[in-house]
Amino acid sequence: MTKNTPFRCHSGGAVGADIHFEYFGALYGVKTLAYSYQTPYHKSINKVEISEADFQDGIQKIALANQSLKRKVNVKHLNLLARNWQQIKNADQVFAISKIIFKNIECVSGGTGWAIQIAIDHHKEIFVFDQVQNAWFEWSYLNSKFCILESCPTITSLNFADIGIRKITLNGINAIEDLYINSFNKAQL
């Protein structure tokens, strides 16, 4: 739809929210890097296989995140959780589609929650669209909680990450589309 931009989306390339971020990003010329680690199930055309060293680094970041989350780490999902570090470390802003919950601390549900906690641990700018509350939230480092936003956030960093739930709903898809429209339509179209 538009020329390529200098913006880069760092993704996991998974079914659900990731695919929708990738689709809408392509419409605006955003290059997606969809990280993976030793799995034949990752089908993104933008797949980037991470190294063993990156995987091991990711495992360390999961251990750090778990000091806050206090969750059981499912070994069969370790490759997915560890690759999340690649997304976070290469991004200044993080956008997620999931659900905000309270479990020991205010956090995000599922595998997305691991990536968000890693982003918190590394002081990234974080926005979460809660599909249940149908609203965007921003992580407040001052208050250590998610604060509701009155409007859709904007992608301002050349390197941003998308993280998200596999069971995306229509309002989650619409939130991704709105994010891209809000970020790029005014500036480029």
Residue by residue, pLDDT tens for the chain (189 residues) are 456 789 999 999 889 999 999 999 999 999 999 998 887 777 788 888 889 999 999 999 999 999 999 998 888 788 888 999 999 999 999 999 999 999 889 999 999 999 999 999 999 999 999 999 999 999 999 999 999 999 999 999 999 999 999 999 999 999 999 999 999 986 443
How far apart are alpha carbons 154 and 180 in whole angstroms?
8
The CATH fold of domain 8-188? Rossmann fold (3.40.50)
Give exposure, 35-49, as e/b (b: 16+ Cβ within 10 Å).
bbbeeeebebeeebe
Please report the pLDDT score of residue 5 as a whole number. 86
What is the DSSP code string of 96-127? Answer: EEE-EEEESEEEE-HHHHHHHHHHHHTT-EEE
User: What pTM was computed for the model?
Assistant: 0.93
Please report the pLDDT score of residue 127 as a whole number. 98
